[in-house]
Amino acid sequence: MKVTIKVNGNPVAAEVADRTLLVHFVREVANLTATNVGCDSTSCGACTVLLDGRSVKSCTVLAAQADGCEVTTVEGLADGSGEMHPVQTAFHAEHGLQCGFCTPGMVMAAVSLLDENPSPTEEEVRTALEGNLCRCTGYHNIVRAVLAAAPATSERRSA
Amino acid sequence: MIPAPFTYKRAFSIDEALDLAARDGEDAKFLAGGHSLLPLMKLRLAVPEVLIDIGRLGELRYVREQDGHIAVGAATSHDELARSGLLLRELPLLAHAASQVGDPQVRHRGTIGGSLVHADPAADLPAVALALDATLVARGPSGSREIAAGEFFQSLFETALEPDELLTEIRFPRPDSPASWAFQKFTKRAIDWAIVGVAVQDGNVALVNMGQTPLRAAAVEQALAAGASPRDAAAHAAEGTSPSTDINGDARYRQHLARVLVGRALEESRSRA
């Protein structure tokens, strides 16, 4: 079927098989390969993107279900001048990653969290990231990064 | 992993969804959030030839007061349930249980109707619907009918729905004492399915993952009605259950967990009331 999805602000239209998953549309049709396929079974969160502003696991959404919607991947977070999103900056500053495989999904889950809850407690951050697995066991710095990013994320949104 | 090939059709109204289902019959499945169905399809445990997408039907997404009860549209997401002011006030058991399903990403997509029709005994909301004495409204070619939650869950992944019927609404009677609720589930990791769970509302007690369907703990309810203490009533929690043995625990372990969790849940609901 013909699917048109606005990915990071750019409409991407393609004829795809009905069974195409959103994550494959993002990686292979839109050619944005930061979003990773991890477990492929709705567990690990590596494929997390924003669908109309809310975090979803793109291995468990059909491209057809996202037809006409807006998808944001980690490549779309920096602003027009290339300045990183506060969550990206904080992951860098707090060393919120080791191997980096979970990072694109982790960052998108964090962005969605801060949109819903602009000043979360540490416990709320840990709970909100329950759908994202980090096999380097780097959770501590990830949580620190999300907490550090909260004020600047609120400022950026109200700017 | 990708699903076996199928034809995707999008419905723009409930009537259109029913027409499409009538045409494709048993080869078709309704798709809302897809968070029960798509994982099964990727494993080829479900191989429908047609998916009818009802995920965009606004007429299936609502939480409202209606004729003295609370009505929830079948395609309302877990996240919407968890944030509903009406539910938090009038039906906190449902709002809280919805906030415990899966993880945030799953709750953004998964729907109450999808969870109920999937009828996995390890899922949270089927037991909550039982504890709340919900009525499920199904629409088919010949109109609507109401099915009591106690009649709806027939076996493992089997419900009372006909292939050409669509679950449209779940109706919850107002509890005697909305604050008298508790929800407990025991998992190894945060996002796992319950090894055992329990939902309590007033004197109603329902169990997650203690048999082929969600179950009411009838012996516990009878003991409570006869004036037993939470601890004494909870001792009956495993009666009439037939839990499975799997990698997470054997049947005896689940029966032990049921007694422990029912005891905690009854104490918790009393402390809130």
Burial class (CB in 10 A: 0-12, 13-18, 19+), A139: middle
Count of residues making up chain B = 273
Closest CA–CA distance from residue A106 to any residue of chain B (Å): 11
Contact B35 A60 (CB under 8 A): yes
Q: What domains can be seen in chain B, in order of their start residue?
A: 7-53 (3.30.43.10), 58-173 (3.30.465.10), 181-272 (3.30.390.50)
Is the ipTM, as predicted for this complex, more than 0.95? yes
Which of A51, A62, A131 lies at the smallest CB-CB distance from B104?
A131
d(CA B153, CA B131) in angstroms, rounded, equals: 13
How many alpha carbons fall within 13 Å on the CB side of residue A85?
Answer: 24
Which of A20, A61, A109 lies at the smallest CB-CB distance from B34?
A61
The residues of chain A scoring below 50 in pLDDT are none
B9-15: list long-range contacts, CB under 8 Å, 24+ apart: B9/B50, B9/B51, B9/B52, B9/B53, B10/A64, B10/A67, B10/B52, B10/B53, B10/B56, B11/B52, B11/B53, B11/B54, B11/B57, B12/B56, B12/B57, B13/B57, B13/B59, B14/B54, B14/B57, B14/B59, B14/B60, B14/B139, B14/B166, B14/B168
**Does A18 contact chain B (CB < 8 Å)?**
yes
The pLDDT, as a whole number, for residue A156 is 86
Q: What domains can be seen in chain A, in order of their start residue?
A: 2-76 (3.10.20.30), 86-158 (1.10.150.120)
Residue whose C-alpha is closest to residue A7's, from B184, A100, A25: A25
Question: B207 and B197 in contact (C-beta within 8 Å)?
Answer: yes
Which of B51, B104, B191 lies at the smallest CB-CB distance from A112?
B104
**Chain A environment of B7 (Cβ under 8 Å):** 18
d(CA A27, CA B87) in angstroms, rounded, equals: 39
Question: B17 and B168 in contact (C-beta within 8 Å)?
Answer: no
The pLDDT, as a whole number, for residue A158 is 82
Which of B8, B79, B109 lies at the smallest CB-CB distance from A64?
B8
**Does B9 contact chain A (CB < 8 Å)?**
no
Question: How large is the greatest C-alpha to C-alpha distance in chain B, in angstroms?
Answer: 57
Contact A109 B105 (CB under 8 A): yes
**Does B247 contact chain A (CB < 8 Å)?**
no
Give the number of other Cβ atoms within 10 Å of residue B238's Cβ: 24
**Does A60 contact chain B (CB < 8 Å)?**
yes
**Chain A environment of B106 (Cβ under 8 Å):** 42, 57, 131
The pLDDT, as a whole number, for residue B192 is 87
The residues of chain B scoring below 50 in pLDDT are none
CA B263 to chain centre: 22
The pLDDT, as a whole number, for residue B1 is 86
**Chain A environment of B102 (Cβ under 8 Å):** 42, 131
DSSP B26-91: GGEEEESS-TTHHHHHHTTS---SEEEE-TT-GGG--EEEETTEEEEETT-BHHHHHH-HHHHHH-
Contact A40 B42 (CB under 8 A): yes
Token code pair at residue B19: 């027409």
Q: Please name the residues between 32 and 51 in chain A that touch chain B, using a CB distance below 8 Å.
A: 40-43, 45, 48, 51
**Chain B environment of A106 (Cβ under 8 Å):** none
Give the number of other Cβ atoms within 10 Å of residue A71's Cβ: 26
Residue whose C-alpha is closest to residue A86's, from A116, A115, A53: A115
Closest CA–CA distance from residue B105 to any residue of chain A (Å): 4
Nearest-CA residue of chain A relative to B55? A65
The pLDDT, as a whole number, for residue B26 is 86
**Chain B environment of A54 (Cβ under 8 Å):** 79, 108
Sheet containing strand B135-140, strands side by side? B63-66, B69-73, B166-173, B135-140, B143-148
Question: A25 and A63 in contact (C-beta within 8 Å)?
Answer: yes
Question: A69 and A5 in contact (C-beta within 8 Å)?
Answer: yes
Contact A42 B35 (CB under 8 A): yes
**Chain B environment of A41 (Cβ under 8 Å):** 1, 39, 42
The pLDDT, as a whole number, for residue B258 is 98
**Chain A environment of B82 (Cβ under 8 Å):** none
